[in-house]
Structure 1
Amino acid sequence: MGTTFLAAVTDAFGAYGGIAQYNRDFLTAAATHPAIDRVEIFPRLAPEPPVTIPQGLTVHRPSHNKLIYGLRTAVAAAIGRPGLVYNGHIYHGPLSAKLEQLSGGRMISQLHGTEVWQPLAPPVLSALDRSALVLCVSEDTRRRYRAQSQRRDDNTHIVPNTVGPHFSPAPREGAREKFGLGDRTTLLTVARLDPREEGYKGHGRVLRALPGLLDADPSTLYLIAGVGPDRARLETLVSEMGLTPHVRFLGKVPFGDLADLYRAADLFVMPSTGEGFGIVFLEAMAAGTPALGLAVGGAPDALDGLGEAVSEDAFAGHLPKAVATARGMSTDARKDLAKRTQERFGFAAFSARVHEALDRVL
């Protein structure tokens, strides 16, 4: 008889966003470990009914009410006696610690990045420190947690994000025609328009560098995909800089069109100062599009050996070189980039990392 894995998550199947995606990927991979019999998933949120549930997973109905959620998971832990408890978000840590006690199992906690960039509350840090394993998406995340941890031995294991097979290279002509790009040099950012720290995703940094690119190539176009409250500020900045003909706000791009959008771009650029990892870098490169980011946070883990990560000070000066290199990149070179990205971050590699991590606690 194998181990039961109880997963307390904010969201997973039927939800959107990077954390939900990671939970889906991790739990799907965990269910294929030979020592795990079944995975019981208890989400707080699920905006839409899950379309398909992989074999080995049971997804319980969401519980928005904290008290009801706590009671349901506690009953599952006490009766089901799972051998593993998955703490899918640090704010579930205190609850997950109680579930661990009720079940007599071992706790695995997940860290995505920026949640450990600030001092952690004692109950949250205590839950992490008592975890048998703390999964980190990047070396930066691991380092930041270890700097706060009171635990002497290292309970961390790095399991970076994965990228799905949907993001793959394909003929670019159709993709560029789809978005009406012609032969224009095209830069792309796919990210939430987040106003924190005057837009930490880096849209403004690209806009301020755009006039220099236009001096060299007046056809240059910057595509901004994503939604969020920072759009008004960015639109004002574009207007004030006289860049309206050279910037397009695409809003939310349907998932089915996203791979083509990456393929259509010459260069994916996101000079963000707040990435725990940066899965969009993987999506772009898996589609064959070179990527440029900042050497900040977890982005270097995603870009190392595949894309480029430069300092904040060097970004504006390096961008024209990156654009020129991307424009000259051959079809074969783009296919090779996609192949190397899938080899390192595809689901097969991700599953192997998950199994390696689980081997430490099973």
Structure 2
Amino acid sequence: MGNSLNVLMLLTDGYGGAGGIAKFNRDFLQALDGCSAVARVHAFPRLIAMAIPESIPERVVYDRAAARGRVAFIRRLVGYVCRGHRPQLVVCGHLHLLPAAWLLARVCRAKLALIVHGIEAWTPSRKLLVKRLARLIDCGLVVSRYSAARFASWSGVPLERLFVLPNCVDLQRFLPLTREPNLIARYGLQGSTVLLTVGRLASAERYKGFDQVIELMPRLVERFPSLKYLVVGGGDDRGRLEKKAKELGVSGNVVFAGQIPEAEKVAHYNLADAFVMPSTGEGFGIVLIEAAACGLPVIGSRADGSREALLDGRLGRLVDPKSPSELYAAIVDALQSPGERRRIDDVETFGSARFQERVEGWLTQLIGSPVTTQLSS
């Protein structure tokens, strides 16, 4: 299979972005670059929030000008087609970009793949056009079986057309390491037992479980007087969570780190004695496997895609996120018997090499299937 496939990808963010979706998109573009069948990938991001520290893969053209607003995004896509580019595959990185992706796929007579992450695709889209177009994709790339089932239940896309592609972690980078003294000093963690959650603090995403952990802090501090709950991530819900911690009398034990540079992420995981995210709306939960790769005891939810990230309990303890007693018991168990941090071998299931193999397998399978993006009557 020679280098003959040209790919067009529409994405919310990737390089210069933060969060799980941006991380997935970077990994996916890197994997496409490593596929022998791919000649070129043109990627059009809607947003570039920060400077791009890493190098862009050689066969990826990352159109930074597309991220200068909605009008610029549309103009760059129109210009791409007008210059004569005709990709054989259009990848839609988010459900909300589907109308533009479907139109481009039809104009170019290309196959259309949709990436499905989590809660945004679990219920029917409120946008009628998106809802109608969802069933016309050639295939879906879905981060978990849980998200696949939820998406298939309303979209009309058969499960056989959905390929599960879980998130991945760089196992050469995310490792158990000693605590960095400068970070201990930054957050006042000297002599502290540290419980950690990493995630966006967005008022629209209150499903990550920050509230549940903060509400348990008074009891946890009674049990572990030196306990600090380190919350890593930024967002518009931080003020409300800070107020809650103050009202509960644990503001001195809850540390809000804010958004951190990607380069500091591994060091922040290694500050912790345990990681917790009792979520109810995660499609997968990349932070769970990053924490596991750093050798932390991990507590996650059995109510969403986190269950698959933790391999049904092999990489961490699963709890009912709506049961405070169960969550409390899991945290106590993790903190009272920390032991030496070590990585569980099963985390290799989500290594970058396995991700590359999965993308290549999916691409090989897709190339041999017929195009279905034409709008039926």
Q: Specify if TM > 0.5.
A: yes
Gaps of 5+ in 1: none
SS in 2 for 1:25: helix
Aligned twin of 2:373: none
1:2 maps to amino acid = S
Aligned twin of 2:141: 135
Contact 1:44/1:62 (8 A) holds in 2: no
Aligned twin of 1:200: 207
Give RMSD over aligned pairs. Answer: 2.3
Aligned twin of 1:346: 351
SS in 1 for 2:31: helix
2:260 maps to amino acid = V
Residues 69 and 119 of structure 1, relative CA distance in 2, 3 Å threshold: same
Aligned twin of 2:161: 155
Instruction: Give the drift of 1:103.
Output: 1.3
Q: Distance in 2 between matches of 1:196 and 1:177?
A: 31
2:94 maps to amino acid = H
Residues 3 and 268 of structure 1, relative CA distance in 2, 3 Å threshold: same
Aligned twin of 1:288: 295
Residues 181 and 61 of structure 1, relative CA distance in 2, 3 Å threshold: closer
Q: Distance in 1 between matches of 2:210 and 2:47?
A: 30
Aligned twin of 1:34: 36
Residues 224 and 11 of structure 1, relative CA distance in 2, 3 Å threshold: closer
Residue 222 (structure 2) pairs with residue 215 (structure 1): yes
SS in 2 for 1:97: helix
1:55 maps to amino acid = E
Alignment of 1:203-282 (within 5 A): 203-282=210-289
Q: Distance in 2 between matches of 1:323 and 1:46?
A: 40
Contact 2:275/2:291 (8 A) holds in 1: yes
Find the partner of 1:45 among 30, 33, 47: 47
Q: Distance in 2 between matches of 1:49 and 1:240?
A: 37
Residue 59 (structure 2) pairs with residue 56 (structure 1): yes
Residue 334 (structure 2) pairs with residue 330 (structure 1): no
Residue 11 (structure 2) pairs with residue 9 (structure 1): yes
Q: Distance in 2 between matches of 1:153 and 1:180?
A: 49
1:66 maps to amino acid = R
Instruction: Give the drift of 1:175.
Output: 8.0
Aligned twin of 1:66: 70
Residue 129 (structure 2) pairs with residue 126 (structure 1): no
SS in 1 for 2:65: coil
Find the partner of 2:197 among 189, 192, 195: 189
Residues 20 and 173 of structure 1, relative CA distance in 2, 3 Å threshold: closer
Residue 103 (structure 2) pairs with residue 98 (structure 1): yes
Residues 20 and 56 of structure 1, relative CA distance in 2, 3 Å threshold: same
Instruction: Give the drift of 1:321.
Output: 4.1
Q: Distance in 2 between matches of 1:171 and 1:265?
A: 10
SS in 2 for 1:361: helix
Contact 1:8/1:73 (8 A) holds in 2: no
Contact 1:175/1:264 (8 A) holds in 2: no
Residues 175 and 117 of structure 1, relative CA distance in 2, 3 Å threshold: farther
Residue 303 (structure 2) pairs with residue 310 (structure 1): no
Aligned twin of 1:357: 362
Q: Distance in 1 between matches of 2:179 and 2:333?
A: 18
Q: Distance in 2 between matches of 1:71 and 1:140?
A: 36
Aligned twin of 1:320: 329
Instruction: Give the drift of 1:75.
Output: 4.4
Residue 91 (structure 2) pairs with residue 86 (structure 1): yes
Q: Deviations over 1:281-314 (max 9, x none)?
A: 1121111111112212211111122012211344
Which deviates the most, 94-103 or 221-230? Answer: 221-230
Percent of aligned pairs with the same amino acid: 34
Aligned twin of 1:144: 150
Q: Distance in 1 between matches of 2:256 and 2:231?
A: 5
Aligned twin of 2:112: 107
2:80 maps to amino acid = A
Residues 129 and 280 of structure 1, relative CA distance in 2, 3 Å threshold: same
Higher helix share: 1
Which deviates the most, 17-26 or 307-316? Answer: 307-316
Contact 2:7/2:42 (8 A) holds in 1: yes
Q: Deviations over 1:42-80 (max 9, x none)?
A: 222223454411121111233234344334324434622
SS in 2 for 1:360: helix
Instruction: Give the drift of 1:213.
Output: 2.1
Contact 1:82/1:105 (8 A) holds in 2: yes
Which deviates the most, 3-12 or 122-131? Answer: 122-131
Q: Distance in 1 between matches of 2:360 and 2:116?
A: 17
Aligned twin of 2:372: none
